[in-house]
Chains A and B, each alone.
Chain A
């Protein structure tokens, strides 16, 4: 895949793509624009997931929790804050959650971390259900006076660009090397003087902030929001998108997200159950076919 491209050429491709996407709403019909928006959201989730879970090998299933927290932030603050602010707030809430959770859970290795993060999304959902029915007496929330579709488009495009930029910068930074180092051997990384806990939590929180921002930016699209937005499906789909493309690259999650995003668009509404069934089987096949490393997170040894 794009792995063969020179980093500068790849950055150029991304820059051109960004320019095309920026002018696209002027020519695209409404349907195509809304499809592009949905895929951009998928891309930013997959890229944000991969820049933490790929190198560190911590399989996070908390994407749904951070996405949901962001969406709820918009629902709660939407009428009080001017538009881009709920997105920033959503990112901040998700990052705060990630710091708290990370401090508790990032010492759990392997499947324990995955279970913990999965439980987190479910716990968040049930706490919100319990709080809304028991305390505020509502089942869901209406998002009043949502921003226009063009504003939403550029917001999500901005978040996507931020996620891809973060992933690219991280790859060649000391932090990125530290994360990959602790993913390969945490004790050795520690011995070499890497402050592993700090690196893990900081990058986990950045990834969560982007996921929360996506959730906050996407929330107005639904106008009505209920606790089901803390969906384990979001977590799984993100993992599948990233693994399908190859989670240790930046291009991989982008391609995986575009592929799954298009497939979802064409099949999800028409053949919902068959499509989801096929997605499950695809996950199994991909895992079995990529035998090296953590679920093929490292398709081939690098460096």
Chain B
């Protein structure tokens, strides 16, 4: 019994963590690169989830196939948001501090606007559908297939992105900008263009996570914020701008949360993540690994 409980926690934690990894990576890309603290990040996850829900329930599209719609749409939306809002803040702020605060307030505005737009379109009622909820036995523990698929896709995309950053020339440009924006510009990297693309990719990652999560969680217009907080905890854990750190941090947080839920009740989950966030900020004001 003890071993199966442990497996339950470990596999369950890795599944949760795999999903966190992709959301967190998206936020880290925006914060690590542009210092844009996008607190509306989870709202794009919520929109992705609703998009998949509408396509699946309305038109019978396979939820996994909707990723081919969600991802490019979210990428386009990200480019547009960057152009309309964040690029103006990025160029108009004299100090990094002013930039961070202004982009934060703008993101709060976006959070409000998007959440209420979703309420207008889909109402506050819980929505959901069943897909791939067949139980799968894994190492003595039982998990629904949809969660395993979602975690594998999310982790696969996260790792693929990491490899892209390490191996490709474009990835090198992004890493260069994260390390030293001025030097990167000197060697001819187009700052504005990389920013726009990374913003789009970050939003797309959040929306894709939403599409995946919609397969097994009920949807509400308020589902985004907890993911934003989780992503914040993860990127502060793993280090701002540190991609591998985000993946590791996400898996760790997934394990910690799953374990705490097993020990007490599910009410404890938000307390654990907010508690960890507060603790890290108090102990390491610049994040666990700093920058």
Interface residues in A78-122 by Cβ distance below 8 A to B read 104-105, 107-112, 114-116, 118-120, 122
CB–CB A59/B104 < 8 A: yes
A282 partner residues in chain B, CB cutoff 8 A: 109
Partner of A127, one of B97, B119, B271: B271
B100 partner residues in chain A, CB cutoff 8 A: 110-111
Distance to closest chain A CB from B7 (angstroms) = 27
Please name the residue on chain A nearest to B281 by beta carbon: A116
Binding site for B on A (CB under 8 A): 57, 59, 104-105, 107-112, 114-116, 118-120, 122-123, 126-127, 129-130, 133-134, 232, 236, 239, 243, 272-274, 276-277, 279-284, 287-288, 291, 293-295
B114 partner residues in chain A, CB cutoff 8 A: 280
B85 partner residues in chain A, CB cutoff 8 A: 284, 288
- The A-B contact count (CB < 8 A) is 123
Partner of B110, one of A57, A284, A294: A284
CB–CB B271/A274 < 8 A: no
Distance to closest chain B CB from A291 (angstroms) = 5
Distance to closest chain A CB from B26 (angstroms) = 17
CB–CB A122/B98 < 8 A: no
Roughly how many angstroms separate A276 CA and B113 CA in the complex, as a whole number? Answer: 7
CB–CB A236/B267 < 8 A: no
Please name the residue on chain A nearest to B232 by beta carbon: A115
Roughly how many angstroms separate A116 CA and B117 CA in the complex, as a whole number? Answer: 27
* Further pairs besides A239-B105, A243-B105: 19, Cβ < 8 Å: A59-B101, A105-B281, A109-B97, A114-B104, A115-B37, A119-B278, A123-B275, A126-B270, A126-B274, A130-B268, A130-B271, A133-B267, A273-B116, A273-B120, A276-B116, A281-B109, A283-B105, A287-B102, A294-B98
Q: Range of interface residues on chain B?
A: 35 or more
Interface residues in B79-124 by Cβ distance below 8 A to A read 85, 88-89, 92-93, 96-98, 100-102, 104-106, 108-117, 119-120
Contacts A119-B229, A276-B116, A284-B109 given: A114-B101 contact, CB under 8 Å?
Answer: yes
CB–CB A119/B101 < 8 A: no
Roughly how many angstroms separate A115 CA and B103 CA in the complex, as a whole number? Answer: 13
Roughly how many angstroms separate A59 CA and B120 CA in the complex, as a whole number? Answer: 30
B113 partner residues in chain A, CB cutoff 8 A: 277, 280-281, 284
B10 partner residues in chain A, CB cutoff 8 A: none
Roughly how many angstroms separate A52 CA and B168 CA in the complex, as a whole number? Answer: 48
Interface flags, B56-76, vs A, CB<8A=1, else 0: 000000000000000000000
B115 partner residues in chain A, CB cutoff 8 A: 276, 280
Q: Is B130 an interface position by the 8 A CB rule? A: no
19 contacts between A and B (CB under 8 A): A107-B285, A114-B104, A115-B277, A116-B281, A118-B39, A119-B229, A119-B281, A130-B268, A243-B105, A272-B116, A273-B120, A277-B120, A282-B109, A283-B105, A284-B85, A288-B85, A288-B88, A288-B89, A295-B101
CB–CB A280/B282 < 8 A: no
A279 partner residues in chain B, CB cutoff 8 A: 112
CB–CB B116/A280 < 8 A: yes
Distance to closest chain A CB from B133 (angstroms) = 28
Please name the residue on chain B nearest to A271 by beta carbon: B120
Please name the residue on chain B nearest to A103 by beta carbon: B282
Partner of A105, one of B98, B120, B282: B282
Distance to closest chain A CB from B285 (angstroms) = 5
CB–CB B105/A277 < 8 A: no
B265 partner residues in chain A, CB cutoff 8 A: 130, 134
CB–CB B281/A108 < 8 A: yes
Roughly how many angstroms separate A286 CA and B8 CA in the complex, as a whole number? Answer: 49
Distance to closest chain A CB from B121 (angstroms) = 9
CB–CB B112/A112 < 8 A: no
A104 partner residues in chain B, CB cutoff 8 A: 278, 282
**Which 7 pairs show the lowest CB-CB distances between chains A and B?**
A280-B112, A280-B113, A283-B109, A284-B109, A277-B116, A123-B274, A276-B116
Distance to closest chain B CB from A243 (angstroms) = 8
Distance to closest chain A CB from B255 (angstroms) = 20
